[in-house]
Amino acid sequence: MQVRNFSIIAHVDHGKSTLADRILEHLGAMGERDKRDQTLDTLELERERGITIKSTPVRLNYTRPNGEKYVLNLIDTPGHVDFNYEVSRSLAACEGVLLLVDASQGVEAQTIVNAYLAIDSGLDIIPVVNKIDLPAADPEGAAQELEDVVGIPAEDAIFASGKTGVGVPEILEAIVERIPSPPGDPDAPLKALIFDSVFDAYQGVIVFVRVLEGQLKPKDKITLFSNGKHFEVDKVGTFSPGLVVGESLTAGDVGWVAAGIKDIHDAQVGDTLMERERPITDPFPGFKPAQPVVFSGLYPTDTEAYRKLREALEKLKLNDAAFSFEPETSEALGFGFRCGFLGLLHAEIIQERLEREYDLDLIATAPAVIYRITLSNGEIFETQNPAEFPTRDRVDLIEEPYIKLSVMLPEEHVGPVMQLLQERRGSMVTMNYLGKRVELIYEVPFAEILYDFHDRLKSISRGYASMDYEIIGYREGELVKVDIYVNNEIVDALAVIVHEDRAYPLGRKIVDKMAEVIPRQMWPVPVQAMIGGKIIARATVKAFRKDVLAKCYGGDISRKKKLLDKQKKGKARMKQIGTVEVPQEAFLAVLSTED
């Protein structure tokens, strides 16, 4: 029986999961009872948001009209830029891909990036123009655009509809015809690539593998290449799309292995499994570890839940190798973790999964990027936490990460989008006309697109613009740390790093917000934003004022003055010994401000 390993890649919302449903349905992999939309989206969150977050594998049996039998291993992948890492892992386990393009929207930013990912991995590409049943569909135009932009011949494209199932038989034939069977010798020493893993309370870590050489059976003695730890295989199997126990996995197969791996740190994604008796010397090159680029603090609202949060983070990290965390403390919020993400959507998804799947109540601090600081003594260090920022007199140079941002949009929206990019300190690299659409390529500081950039881009372009980005390195920037003082005492949790030009408006915003939410005291409380020793913005929480003149009905003015002076002295004395308690709601109000 011949094997074909393939993946479906596309821009977000171009119909990958729906087309996968039709393929499963056509091959009878879904019984009537199991039928539902987005079968391969297993997380509740994926189904709710209508996006794929995790790559999901499934094994299918296909018999051609001439009676030849094939095993198809399909891996459905995410389309959003934040989950690009999931795509690269899935492609390492395949020989070919279906590249989907929406017939009405054409080639988008992420389509190009995913196509080049597949080309760089040396995979065979089958172009599919999806959603041809839409009223605004232009299948020939989309196929031509694919040829003009990516260089894939338009005549190779298959026209299909994930909704109605049109084109599915042609896609299955193309997979068998155009994608090569996986190489590999079943008798060679075992070499299997770990491309994902999940934690099971009863079986420990279950690793998802692509067997490159050799075979895997229960009772086999295996070793992890990276750390040399030994295990005995308990069960092996395939995906249907749930875990199905099998007898063995052989070269070319995609499947899962349970080997009593208790420690979630042992099964690293990208590692290679080998036989204990016949070890190999050259592991699979793996993938370069995903580097988190956005950092945010996560703190439990109840300090008792700290240990529960740590356990939840460790389990999530196992299933999401691109996520990282380390403990940190804050005077305002207590004990928590500094977490690293691939982008804002990734951060949002992780927080939501922690709250839902592990029943945690969390506070997230404002996201930040990694800054590189050169001190006056020549020492260089990196930080994303404003609390670790050195004083200005010790700093020689501050650098911030830059990204190469690619935006695809219709011609009529180019002006406003260019204006938005200039506001965000972007500098234009090039502008390409692709038919009726324009591709803008800019170099922008990463910190500038962290908050509301994507929402602004979508609203300016009426939803037609799509974006993709890659980190291109560090550049010097005029960056300053803005400290917030309440009643002349510094509040560490509210410090921010910002470009000099944006320091005043941001400082102004924070102090005004704090002044609104801090409860009034018996004396005026100053809230100040400072850079170094210089105050750039100030707001005052007004004092309660008791009407001490209420009992004076007329009479001499000196009597009124005497009462007011007495009140003044009492307030001054209270101010000397009084400190302000800032409620947690005040921090939440500031930390959750979108800008």
Which residue ranges are tagged as binding site for GTP? 13-18, 130-133
Alpha carbons 114 and 12: distance in angstroms, whole number: 11
Cα distance between residue 461 and residue 421, in whole Å: 13
CA distance 349 to 355: 10
Handedness of CA 435, 439, 440, 442 (dihedral sign): negative
Residues annotated within the binding site are 13-18, 130-133
Q: The tokens of 464 are what? A: 């037609």
Q: Indicate the Cα dihedral angle 336, 306, 348, 208, nearest 10°.
A: 120
Cβ neighbours of residue 272 under 8 Å, at least 6 residues apart?
Answer: 191, 192, 193, 194, 224, 225, 226, 280, 283, 284, 286
For residue 197, list its beta bridge partners.
207
Phi-psi region of 139 (alpha: psi -120 to 50; beta: other; left: phi over 0): alpha
Phi/psi of residue 332, nearest 5 degrees: -85, -40
Residue 48 one-letter amino acid: E
Name which of 376, 348, 449, 367 is nearest 406 in CA terms: 449
Beta strand ranges found along 226-321 (DSSP E):
230-232, 235-239, 243-246, 249-250, 254-261, 272-275, 294-300
Sign of the Cα torsion 277, 208, 10, 131 reads positive
Fill in the amino acid letter for 582.
V
Distance of CA 216 to the CA centre of its chain: 33
Residues contacting 189, CB < 8 A, separation 6+: 213, 214, 274, 275, 278, 279, 280
Cα–Cα distances (Å) from 6 to 91, 112, 154, in that order, read 8, 18, 21
**What tokens does 118 get?**
């597949």
CA atoms of 448 and 510, how far apart (whole Å):
18
Q: Which helix (H) or strand (E) holds 471?
A: strand 466-476
